[in-house]
Amino acid sequence: MFHSTAVSSNDLIQMSHSHLLRFTFVYGDKPPQIPLVPLRFFDTVNNPTPKFNDILDSGADEITIPRELAEYLDYKIIPRKEKINTAGGEMNAFVTNGDFSIGRGGREVRYHSIEMCVVDHDIPVLIGIKPLFDDYSISIQAYENKVVLTPRQKK
């Protein structure tokens, strides 16, 4: 089941039906040339942040945000019972739920009440598997500094 509502106006008005949009995002050609996608977060009373260029991270289970951002958005932050495993070892983390949209230029797909991982570290926002990799075939075309998101085919 998709978790998204497509929006097409500058006011992010929700449409009555849900669907995904195809996106192509071009990221910088200067090092470190990390694949980025534009996301906007919404606080608990639906105020949007400016857009963020967030890092695609297929090695992460879910979206990971720094605690400072979660607190600014007034999200409820709950400690995880167990530490999370990272490339650098185990670390404490928290869980929250929040809204975001992906896209730009008036073409955005809104996601509601998505579980996110919160960490105390001042890291960039990381876009893990859930929910975007579940909904899209994501192709990183590093030779053109391009990320292409193609909505998955319904079975």
Partner 1 sequence: MSGTEKDTHLGKWVLLDKKNKVIYSNKHLIKVVKKGKEYPKDEVIIEKNVPQHSCFF
Q: Name the site residues for partner 1 (rule: CB under 8 A).
A: 10, 28, 30-32, 34, 36, 38, 48-53, 55, 57, 66, 68-69, 72, 86-88, 91, 104-106, 121-126
Q: Categorise residue 106: left if φ over 0, alpha if ψ from -120 to 50, beta otherwise.
A: left
Q: How far is the CB of 1 from partner 1 (least distance, A)?
A: 29
Nearer to partner 1, 13 or 72 (CB): 72
Closest to 50 measured CA to CA, from 9, 114, 101, 115: 101
**From CA 49, how far away is CA 136, in angstroms rounded?**
24
DSSP letter, residue 132: H
Nearer to partner 1, 3 or 12 (CB): 12
Q: How far is the CB of 24 from partner 1 (least distance, A)?
A: 16
Q: How far is the CB of 153 from partner 1 (least distance, A)?
A: 30
Helix, strand or coil, per DSSP, at residue 100: strand
Q: Is cis: bond before 32, omega within 30 of 0?
A: yes
Nearer to partner 1, 11 or 113 (CB): 11
Q: How far is the CB of 120 from partner 1 (least distance, A)?
A: 12
Q: How far is the CB of 128 from partner 1 (least distance, A)?
A: 12
**From CA 141, how far away is CA 146, in angstroms rounded?**
5
**From CA 83, how far away is CA 123, in angstroms rounded?**
17
Nearer to partner 1, 3 or 130 (CB): 130
Nearer to partner 1, 18 or 49 (CB): 49
